[in-house]
Each structure stands twice: as C-alpha cells, then as structure tokens.
Chain A
Amino acid sequence: MFKVQDLQFKYPKNKENTIKGISFEIKEGEIFGLLGPSGVGKSTTQKVLIKLLDQYSGEVTYKEQNLKSYGKDFYQEVGVGFEMPVHFSKLTAEENLTFFKKLYKSNADTDELLMRVGLYEDRNKQVSEFSKGMKGRLNFVRALLNNPKMLFLDEPTNGLDPKNARIIKDMIKEFKGNGGTVLLTTHLMNDVDELCDRVAFMVDGKISEIDTPKNLKLKHGQKQVEIEYLENTGNNETKKAFFDLEELGMNEQFLELIRTKEIVTIHSKETNLDDIFIKVTGVEKNE
C-alpha cells in the first residue's frame, strides 16, 4: 500500500533532520504499528504519509504511485483518526458528521457506526457536552465515514473504558478483515500486541526495529522457563530455578524437580512489548 524509501525530512527552523532516512513498507490489508517515544519522528512520518508535509527527500509511493502525484482525491480513500477532539463543539455529533460526509463521494452508514460505538442516543447533543471518551469515539466514526481503504489511527483507545476500547479494537479488526489497511500509533502495547501484524520502533528519526510482535518477543526474550517451587524444609521456603527451553523434556534436572518438588508457579521467560519498547527505544534513559 505504502512504500517508503530513504525518507528524510527537516523542519525549516531545525538544524538537523527529524527523519533520518527511514525505509519501510505498509502492506495492503495489514495493521502496521509505528511506535516510539515522543519526539522521535512518528508524527512527522504520519504527516508525510497523509500529505501534510511534502518538502521531504526520498521516495514515498502509495499504490505504487508517487505520493506527490496525488491530488485532493487521495483523501477520498483515506481516513485519519486523531487523538485529540476534532469536531465543532457547538454542532451536534450528527451535524458534524453530516457536514463532513458531504465532502466525500462514498459515505458509510454513520447511524450504524454511531450505534456500534454507543453514541447513537447522543447524536443530537452538542459535542461540547460530550466526555473525552465520547469525543474519542466520535473521532473514530469521523475517520470511517468515507469508507476508507487506508486508516491512520493515533491512540484510538486513549481515554476509553475497557468496554468501549474493546468495541473500537473489534471494529479495527473488522476493518482489516474487510481488506482495510491501518497505520496505528499508540503507547498501549497491549493494543499493539492484539492488533498489529507488524511494528516499527522509531528512535531519533530512524527505525531501529521492524518485525512482527511475535518475532520481536522471540528475539528480545529469553528462551528459558522459570520455576518457583517449595523446598521441603521445615519453613516451606520458596526457591526459583531456570532451565533452557531447548530440549526441556530431556533435561533430567528439570524432570527431577517437577517430579519431586511442589511447584508454585511455572513461566516461560518470553518478554512483552512494553519491555521491548523500553529496551529498543531507550525510553528510560531519554525521558
């Protein structure tokens, strides 16, 4: 869908490039996560991809055609879901959506979308009366109202309760299921783990890692199993033991331990995306 080759970008007032030669591809029908701490160039990359910045070097293609060659019709098939509210507060949700729908050739059934996200009953309320979570859900509906093929989502579940976050995540999966492509930016690694097919970690204007969440976990995790067991002494002391996952079934020490000791917990030592985020981006050092 998108191919980015050696993308570099410098803001006019900056001394050095914000984007320092990144290359990646967003494949059609995948959910691609763009992750990293604040200020590393994620937003700038998104701005380039949604054609808000065009003074870049390198090559960006959309559907194998230079992005710069697209006119305003590019937005007919693109939906952008912003993190912050982007609606006219003195208009109702319905009035907002009706206004924006008129700008597109293709329109989704916004009543159905409002029902899905639980805003249908509130559609005639002014947006100023909406809570933060309701505004976030309305942003999501706004992003979908033109039946886009490509969706850019910035923290789509931010500020939502678990029930509504689940609804939004299910809708993103459905969008993908119907052939849609998504570029997702979020700090919630559980969302990334659940939704993304591939993720790219950005650090200081460069991509430091790009792979599937599963491969990243395998790469950065330890291939070990941790066993917590009770020592058969008078005070029931808890002890830990670690074993390599490789040929675990042949490991006599391991087999002896699980045969003879009372096991309290047993865990494989694979890592999670939170840990990978910290490790790859060095966020603890920088922020």
Chain B
Amino acid sequence: MNNILVLFTGELERMKKYHVLGASLVVSLIWIGVLYFTEISDVSNIFPLLLYIDATSMSMLMIGVTMFFEKQEGTIKTLLVSPISKAEYIVAKALANIVSNIVTLFVLYLYAWFFKEIDINLIGIFLAIVIVAFFHSLIGFMLTYYSKDFTDLLMGMMKYAFVMMVPVILETFGLISNNFIQKLLYAVPTKASMLLLQASAGGIEAWEIYLSIAYLVIGSTLLYVIVSRKFDEFAAKESGV
C-alpha cells in the first residue's frame, strides 16, 4: 500500500483511539450551539466565520496534539527509522487534519441545512478549507518544532491567535475601521483565510479571492519547504537512540 495512504489511515485511526476526533466533534457541537442560539435564520454569513476558527486554530492544535503524543510515547523514533520520507509523514498528517476539518464542515452544514437557512457554495468552501487547513497544519508543525512541551505549544498558539486571528475577526465584525490597519491585514495569512472562506457566501471581490488563493498557495509552498528542512533537526533531536 502507498505509504501516504498507510500513514494517513493510521493517523485517522489514532485520532479516533486517542479521542482527538471526538474532541473535534465536541467543538463542532459547540459551533452548532452557536448557530442554534443565534437569532438570525440565514446563517450564510456566520457560517464561514465558524469554519475560519476551526480551520485555523484546530488545524494547528491537532498537529501539535498528535505530534506530542508521538514524542511522549516515543513512536516518533520508530517512525523515523521506517521506510517513509519526511514528505510522506508531513503530508499524511496534514491530510488527516484536513479530514477532521471537512467532517466539521459537513456536520455544521447538515445542521444549517435542516434547521436554518444557508446559501453557500459548498464546493468553494470545501476547497477553501483544504487550502486554509493545510497552511495552518504547517504552522502547527512549526509551532511544535519550537515548543518544549504542550504548554509551550498552547502559548505559541495563543500568540498566533492574538496577533493573526483576532484582528481579522474584529475587522469582520466591523470593529476595526482604520483604513491603514484594514490594508495591513492583507499581509497576514488569516485575512486571506477569512476572505477565501467568506467567498463561498459571496460578497468578496474577485481580486481578493485571487490574492488570497495566491497568498495561501505560495505561503504553503514556502512553509512546506521550511517545515521539511526543519524536520531533520527535529528528527535528530527526537531520535534519542
């Protein structure tokens, strides 16, 4: 069997056994709760916002959690001396992560479809989640490389959330009106992520969509190269034969 497929299915199995998928579903239920308690019946505009939080923060967290389990249990050592490449390891982990985000998408979409009104481009938001989740999975790798322990990882995520995610949410809610800051936000990957997800509900300029796709695709490529290079250092540190 192809190594990526083996690693990917193994990753999903472990996410289930270690209750990581269960935790992800609980988060989905929280988002359903948010949709339930919102008074607006058409949730098309709030829907991308919930998926934005999920595809960014949950992606980073899931990578961190699974890698810390591997470090803690020493399984990373035995994976490093298996006939797999670092590319296969990184891609399989990111793909499993994306699956979790896609599950959240469909759980939320089904709820909105049956109990609320929703009008979004499902294929568009599906592709947006793939791109956003992949980019943030790679961020998750970087944070894990530089975190001594799980608390350190959470601190890194908090910093990312405050600097990158919160300003974009505030702008989306109209709480940031300063023109310079609004323009400055185009420089952060979370703005590109938000625009791409919002595009599925309409109202986003074409140039903003193209810019966001280009940003995240080029960003992912560059980030992948860095993650891949840094993996050797990480491997040497974790191997401890």
Contact = CB atoms under 8 A, between A and B. Distances in A.
B82 A82 contact: no
A254 interface: no
A154 B241 contact: yes
B10 A53 contact: no
B78 interface: yes
A159 interface: no
A126 to B, nearest CB: 9
B78 A52 contact: no
A95 B10 CA distance: 10
A78 B17 CA distance: 29
Size range of the chain A interface in the assembly: 20 to 34
Contacts of B235: 52
A103 B81 contact: no
Interface in A193-216: none
Given A43-B241, A47-B241, A84 B14 contact: no
B146 to A, nearest CB: 15
A197 to B, nearest CB: 22
Contacts of B84: 72, 103
A74 B84 CA distance: 10
A2 B29 CA distance: 56
Contacts of A154: 241
Contacts of B74: 82, 84-87
A90 interface: yes
A142 B10 CA distance: 16
Given A50-B81, A142-B78, A99 B10 contact: yes
A91 B14 contact: yes
Interface string A110-129: 00000000000000000000
Interface in B190-241: 232, 235-236, 239-241
Interface SS majority for chain B: helix
Given A82-B77, A154-B241, A102 B14 contact: no
Interface string A237-265: 00000000000000000000000000000
B85 interface: yes
B39 interface: no
Contacts of B14: 88, 90-91
B34 interface: no
A76 interface: yes
B80 interface: yes
Contacts of B82: 75, 100, 103-104
Contacts of B78: 80, 82, 86-87, 100, 142
A28 B1 CA distance: 31
Interface of A: 43, 46-47, 50, 52-54, 71-76, 78, 80, 82, 84-91, 95, 99-100, 102-104, 142, 152, 154
Interface of B: 1, 3, 6, 10, 13-14, 17-18, 69, 73-75, 77-78, 80-85, 232, 235-236, 239-241
19 contacts: A50-B81, A50-B241, A52-B239, A71-B85, A72-B84, A75-B81, A75-B82, A78-B81, A82-B78, A82-B241, A86-B73, A88-B17, A90-B14, A90-B18, A99-B6, A102-B6, A102-B10, A103-B6, A152-B241
